[in-house]
Amino acid sequence: MIEEGSKRGKAMVEKRQLFMEMRAQNFDVIRLSTYRTACKLRFVQKRCNLHLVDVWNMIEAFRDNGLNTLDHNAEINMSRLETILSSIYYQLNKRLPTTHQINVEQSIGLLLNFMVATYDSESHGKLTVFSMKAMLATMCGGKIVDKLRYIFSQISDSSGVMVFAKFDQFLREVLKLPTAVFEGPSFGYMEHSVRMCFPQQKIMLNTFLDVLMADPPPQCLVWLPLMHRLANVENVFHPVECSYCRSESMMGFRYRCQQCHGYQLCQSCFWRGHANGPHSNQHQMKEHSSWKSPAKKLSHAISKSLGCVPIGEPPHPVFPEQAERPQELTHTVQPKPVANNMNDTMLMSSGAPTPTKSVLESPSRLDEEHRLIARYAARLAAEAGNSTQPCPPTDLSFNFDANKQQRQLIAELENKNREILQEIQRLRLEHEKASQPTPEKAQQNPTLLTELRLLRHRKDELERRMSALQESRRELMVQLEGLMRLLKDEEQKQASQSGGSPHSSPSHGAGCSMPMPIRSTSAGSTPTHTPQDCLAGVGGDVLEAFSQGVPRNLRNDLLVAADSITNTMSSLVKELHSVDDGREEEETNMRNGGDRVRIQKH
């Protein structure tokens, strides 16, 4: 008893969780019931992750679970409904990347409790197939035109004409959604709602779409297209300041007053009825779902005035007026067997009734398979071009010759595209041939031939100059090597003299500016990277200094060599002067010493 009470309490908490979260959003401050209803249903859609399920995936899930073989008034219990929702969300997680996976159990619980609160207020524990289809097809993601096409396929007969009784049933079911979010007084079901929407007697697909997608749509369903517009503008940015709250940017809708110049409101201020200055809530406001710069507005106005932009665009594509019996998108996804092993296992484990053999082999099911086979046969015959039979009967789901003009136009465009590509390739080849001069062209053009001769002459002159420079460089380096040998010999002589005479001064004494000794190498080393063997015969320190692998500037090398020779010669002259001064001093001392000896003797 305690466990049953805890489970029941937990179920009540989960049942109220979604409505408690919706009340916390404070949508009731929105003064317009249309926006208030659309915002609440958009919140439910996102909270249950239905906005991630496309209408095509939803219809495929209906077929995979065998709902297309059941009557609209057939009832399914809660366990079967939970199995269907599980398949929808698990298939969704397979399509989503791993970083955007949803909590399947939580989504199932929230959506199941919302559907029960909406369509099973008397707690019968069952929902009709049509209720579930209408609710999920309306609240899922995708384009509104695709949703309305599917809904029309469910409420039309085999000749493609809407059945008013089925449309009335659809209104009863879909208008329970505003009632579930406490907006029933504004958008509740009324008996004359059908005639208010369609006063005509015969409604085809295009007429159905024209009425429900008009501006404005029928009053009872005005929240449905607004909910889709809300989804499209949630991330739209307007770099405009709100005239009331002074916000420097707007997200979502933007509203411009048609009477007050430059007066604009963000969606939050407009929905709450805020106004200031000369503006009043009674003024007519224009809703903007995008931002256009003044330059774009000017170009659009000019194009519109010149007739380059169509003034009015159709709200939806025009579909062929032909019979479309209730179908489950068999043209986009191949029909699968209703009962497979996985679904049977899931249904049996949940205790839900599985489709019986009589349902699977019913005449309607066999008739649908025969029609499918006939449709594919007609398509193959049309493509082969050997068909001698008349067009398929009007009760087929598709007429493959209806888009013949479109196919011809596509074929013509493809041919033009191929021709353009061939022309581009031809022009490219001609350009390449023209950019490569040939001997024949050179002979035909004397100016070009003269220029070529001048270029060759200039090249030969530069090569000769390069050879002369290399030879001059080699000679300078040979001279530099000889000077460095003289310096070394002089240093050795001074070293021997300094070792024998205490009065001799070292070569690096005061007043001498000899260069620092350079690291010597073997005289037989040969440069490996010097062009034209310009360093042949040069060895030692000079060879090491100038035989680097990195290419050098000849002019800089000559200047450096000249500076080195000058410095070396000046150092040599100074050293020779110092040696001569030392010798003269020794000779003077020796003379003075001899004179002193003679004086002492006397």
What sections of 32-183 are H helices per DSSP?
A: 33-47, 55-64, 78-95, 104-119, 129-139, 144-155, 164-174, 176-180
Winning range, highest mean pLDDT, from 439-453, 459-473, 499-513: 459-473
Greatest extent of the chain over all pairs of C-alpha atoms, in Å: 166
Checking if the pLDDT of 549 tops 50, the result is no
Checking if the pLDDT of 507 tops 80, the result is no
Checking if the pLDDT of 545 tops 80, the result is no
- Given this model, what pLDDT does residue 464 score? 87
- The pLDDT-based confidence of 204 (bands split at 50, 70, 90) is very high
- The pLDDT-based confidence of 498 (bands split at 50, 70, 90) is confident
Over residues 270-278, the mean pLDDT reads 90
- Given this model, what pLDDT does residue 380 score? 72
- Given this model, what pLDDT does residue 563 score? 75
Over residues 262-271, the mean pLDDT reads 92
**For residue 149, how many C-alpha atoms fall within 13 Å in the half-sphere facing its CB?**
19
CA distance 135 to 118: 9
pLDDT tens, position by position, 578-596: 655 655 555 555 555 544 4
Winning range, highest mean pLDDT, from 108-112, 198-202, 274-278, 309-313: 108-112
- Given this model, what pLDDT does residue 502 score? 46
Residue 263: Cβ-neighbour burial (10 angstroms; 0-12, 13-18, 19+):
buried
CA distance 357 to 192: 41
Over residues 233-238, the mean pLDDT reads 90
Comparison of pLDDT for 276 and 372, the residue scoring more = 276
- The pLDDT-based confidence of 202 (bands split at 50, 70, 90) is confident
- The pLDDT-based confidence of 334 (bands split at 50, 70, 90) is very low
- The pLDDT-based confidence of 512 (bands split at 50, 70, 90) is very low
| % of residues, the chain, pLDDT over 70 | 63
pLDDT tens, position by position, 23-32: 999 999 999 9
The answer to whether residues 56 and 91 touch, using CB atoms and an 8 Å cutoff, is no
- Given this model, what pLDDT does residue 570 score? 72
Checking if the pLDDT of 94 tops 90, the result is yes
Range of weakest confidence among 25-29, 112-116, 371-375: 371-375
Comparison of pLDDT for 197 and 528, the residue scoring more = 197
- Given this model, what pLDDT does residue 324 score? 47
Element (DSSP H or E) covering residue 254: strand 254-257
Considering the chain, what is the average pLDDT of its residues?
75
- The pLDDT-based confidence of 297 (bands split at 50, 70, 90) is low
Comparison of pLDDT for 53 and 296, the residue scoring more = 53
Q: Indicate the pTM of the whole model.
A: 0.52
Radius of gyration of the chain (CA): 49
Checking if the pLDDT of 33 tops 50, the result is yes
Comparison of pLDDT for 120 and 322, the residue scoring more = 120
- Given this model, what pLDDT does residue 64 score? 92
Over residues 422-444, the mean pLDDT reads 74
| % of residues, the chain, pLDDT over 90 | 35
- Given this model, what pLDDT does residue 223 score? 94
Other beta carbons within 10 angstroms of residue 37's beta carbon come to 25
The answer to whether residues 52 and 101 touch, using CB atoms and an 8 Å cutoff, is no
CA distance 22 to 27: 8
pLDDT tens, position by position, 142-199: 999 999 999 999 999 988 999 999 999 999 999 999 999 999 888 888 888 888 888 8
Checking if the pLDDT of 17 tops 80, the result is yes
Checking if the pLDDT of 40 tops 90, the result is yes
- The pLDDT-based confidence of 321 (bands split at 50, 70, 90) is low
Directed axis angle between helix 129-139 and helix 144-155, to 10°? 160
Range of weakest confidence among 71-80, 310-319, 348-357, 412-421: 348-357
Sign of CA dihedral 60, 65, 68, 69: positive
- Given this model, what pLDDT does residue 56 score? 94
Checking if the pLDDT of 281 tops 50, the result is yes
Length of the chain: 602
DSSP code of 392? P
